[in-house]
Amino acid sequence: MSGSTYGNIFKITTWGESHGKGLGAVIDGCPAGISLTEEDIQLDMDRRKPGSNKYGTKRQEGDKVQIMSGVFQGKTTGTPISLVIFNNDQRSKDYSSISQVYRPGHADYGFETKYGFRDYRGGGRSSGRETAARVAAGAVAKKLLSELGISITAYTISIGNVKAEKYDLSQCSENPLYMPDNDAAQRAAKLLDETIKNQDSSGGIIECKVTGMPVGIGEPVFDKLDSSLAKAVMSIGAVKGIEFGDGFKAAQSSGSYNNDNFYMSEGKIKKHTNHSGGILGGFSDGGDIVFRAAFKPTPSISQPQQTVTNYGEDTEITITGRHDPVIVPRAVVVVEAMTAVTLADLILINMSSKIDGIKKFYIQQ
């Protein structure tokens, strides 16, 4: 149980290291009959792909996804969908400088203590490259959600201390940082230029919005909609916090302000406000789901750092090679992917909640 399987009904299993033969995901429990092509998935792979701008690492990963199983005549068959992405940029490199040294801010020390040794080439399983498999699986989940009218959009709302001041989602695709505010994106770009010059790195915050959710999705105790999303998003490397709706601000608020009042509008239940971020008591409440995830600065920086070896001596390390000065813009699609996978799972789980729905299902059949 190295924890590479996620989900209960819509269940994904990922595998692969940054410097092995490739990476992949197996999706078990995807319903049959959904249209799916490699191009559908490639769209999201390309959004994650590095090298599209100077703030992403220069490594040319390619990231061409192949569907190995589970699709017949352009539709999912209900059986496992195996997705493979071959690694094609494995230049032979000298890792001797880091093979016995624990990089600060990295998983190296924990990894080696846990397993007795580690694949020191590029972070192995703890590399950011691991998220490629998540994005591939997420693209399939999005196809399922789109059949139900649900859509997910994530975007960068801050990089370092530069924050988006407007939320015009149409601008996200107009700047390389996926910010909903082109002006802020320009300021953030300047900050990143400075960061690169300083051989340093920056953190940032991603916000994610989900529209079209049915009401009542999520389970009432441990598998709440928000607790499930929290696990999914916090499992992305570098995420150090998550908040829903008003989040940490709600802790300073009052009930009379924080409660969203319900009202009827054209026969439907609506809310005047959305302090809850679309989730009440662990269930979707009809409002848009809104959450934010905080990413720490990339730990791989070129400055010399003090650290230790795996044989117990103090040492200094200077990390060379290609590294993102900020991971946030590339992580936008990863946040969407983990959100999609989680929602797909909870939506399928919800189908067995009441006997009426079950009877209808089986009588129809």
Contacts of a second copy in 118-177 (CB under 8 A): 118-119, 121, 124-126, 130, 144, 147-148, 158, 160-161
Task: Calculate the CA 330 to chain-centre distance.
Answer: 10
Subset of residues 224 to 263 that bind a second copy, contact rule: CB under 8 A: 224, 226-228, 230-232, 234-235, 237, 239-248, 250-263
- DSSP letter assigned to residue 309: B
Check binding of 179 to a second copy (CB under 8 A).
Answer: no
CB of 137 to a second copy, least distance (A): 11
Give the span between the Cα atoms of 31 and 78, in whole angstroms. 5
Please give the residues from 267 up to 286 whose contact with a second copy meets the rule CB under 8 A.
267, 269, 276-277, 280-286
The answer to whether the CB of 190 falls within 8 A of the CB of 177 is: no
Shortest separation between residue 362's beta carbon and a second copy, angstroms:
5
- The three-state DSSP-derived secondary structure of 107-148 is CHHHHHHHHCCCCCCCCHHHCHHHHHHHHHHHHHHHHHHHHC
Beta bridge partners of 153: 209
Cβ nearer to a second copy, comparing 169 with 215: 215
- Tell which one of 37, 88, 173, 352 touches a second copy (CB under 8 A): 352
Is 350 strand, coil or helix? helix
**Which conformational region is residue 124 in: left (phi greater than 0), alpha (psi within -120 to 50 degrees), or beta?**
left
* 168 and 189 Cβ atoms separated by less than 8 Å: no
114 binds a second copy (CB under 8 A): yes
Between 170 and 314, name the residue whose CB sits nearer to a second copy: 314
Would you say 50 or 204 has its CB closer to a second copy?
Answer: 204
Beta bridge partners of 270: 263
Compose the 65-94 pattern: x for residues touching a second copy by CB under 8 A, - for all others. -xxxxx-x--xxxxxxxx-x----------
Cβ(71)–Cβ(82) below 8 Å = no
Nearer to a second copy, 26 or 332 (CB): 26
How far is residue 84's CA from residue 15's CA, in Å, rounded to a whole number?
9
Q: How far is the CB of 328 from a second copy (least distance, A)?
A: 8
Q: Of 170 and 333, which has the nearer Cβ to a second copy?
A: 333
Closer residue to a second copy (CB): 170 or 224: 224
Least gap, CB of 187 to a second copy (angstroms): 14
Residues 6+ apart with CB under 8 A from 341: 6, 7, 10, 12, 134, 137, 138, 141, 232
Report the residue from 42, 95, 105, 196 that binds a second copy according to the rule CB under 8 A: 105
| 170 or 248: CB nearest a second copy | 248
Contact (CB, 8 A) for 140 and 65: no
Q: Which one, of 102, 127, 164, 103, lies nearest residue 14 by Cα?
A: 127
Q: Is 39 helix (H, G, I), strand (E, B) or coil?
A: helix
Number of residues that bind a second copy (CB under 8 A): 168
Region 301-330 residues binding a second copy, contact defined as CB under 8 A: 301, 303, 305-308, 312-314
Residues 335/47, Cβ–Cβ less than 8 Å:
no
The residue (of 20 and 62) whose beta carbon lies closer to a second copy is 20
Spatial contact of 24 and 17, defined as CB atoms under 8 Å apart: no
Task: Report the nearest approach of a second copy to the CB of residue 273 (Å).
Answer: 10
**Cα(303)–Cα(294) distance, integer angstroms:** 23
14 to 53: interface string for a second copy, x by CB under 8 A: xxxx--xxxxx-x-xxxxxxx-------------------
For position 209 contacting a second copy by CB under 8 A, the verdict is no
Is 297 among the residues that bind a second copy (CB under 8 A)?
yes
- Beta carbon nearer to a second copy, 133 or 333: 133
Site membership for a second copy, residue 360 (CB under 8 A): yes
